[in-house]
């Protein structure tokens, strides 16, 4: 006999679920990293590429445009020759920092628990 389905007592104000809205800001690949590296002070595109060496220029550019369109990052053209662009967090972007810091704290604990490895080691083949 199948078990009855229980109703969830936590209401979700659809379609504007606050968790979904926040995760929409953080959900893109590398978005959290970009926000993290902008948390101290404004950075130029090339500086962010150095901060996040594994991100491609194409993805970084797309992520910056996306975060700018969502009000998380502000883009400022500097009056230099040649022109330079700096990116910085907006007030909304700064409001995300405590959540990201909490994720970093948990990630640090997990890394310590699992010996600081980014990926599991391969097991040696039998008989080696």
Kindly report, residue by residue over 84-95, the tens digit of the pLDDT.
Answer: 999 999 999 999
Residue 126 within any structural domain of the chain: no
Residue 16 within any structural domain of the chain: no
Q: HSE-up of 1 (CA within 13 Å, CB side)? A: 1
Q: pLDDT for 32-57, tens place per residue?
A: 999 999 999 999 999 999 999 999 99
> For residue 46, what are the domain limits?
26-113
CATH code of the domain in which 36 resides: 1.10.10.10
Indicate if the alpha-carbon torsion angle 68, 73, 79, 85 is positive or negative: negative
Tokens of 118: 């980014």
Q: Confidence band (pLDDT; 50, 70, 90) for 121?
A: very low
Q: pLDDT for 100-116, tens place per residue?
A: 999 889 999 999 998 86
- State pTM to two decimals: 0.74
Q: Quick check: 11 pLDDT over 60? A: yes
CA distances from 70 to 10, 31, 98, 99 (A): 28, 12, 19, 17
The answer to whether the bond into 82 is cis (omega within 30° of 0) is yes
CB atoms within 10 A of CB 25: 20
Residue 9 within any structural domain of the chain: no
Count: domains in the chain: 1
Residue 5 within any structural domain of the chain: no
Q: How far apart, in whole angstroms, are the C-alpha atoms of residue 105 and residue 9? A: 30
């Amino acid at each position: 006999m199948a078990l009855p389905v229980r109703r969830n007592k936590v209401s979700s104000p659809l379609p504007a679920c606050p968790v979904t809205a926040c995760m929409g800001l953080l959900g893109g690949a590398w978005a959290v990293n970009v926000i993290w590296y902008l948390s101290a002070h404004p950075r130029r595109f090339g500086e962010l590429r150095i901060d996040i060496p594994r991100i491609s220029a194409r993805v970084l550019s797309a992520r910056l445009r996306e975060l700018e369109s969502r009000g998380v990052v502000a883009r400022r053209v500097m009056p230099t020759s040649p022109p330079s662009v700096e990116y910085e967090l907006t007030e909304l972007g700064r409001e995300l920092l405590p959540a990201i810091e909490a994720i970093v704290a948990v990630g640090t604990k997990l890394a310590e628990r699992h010996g600081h490895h980014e990926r599991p080691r391969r097991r040696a083949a039998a008989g080696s």
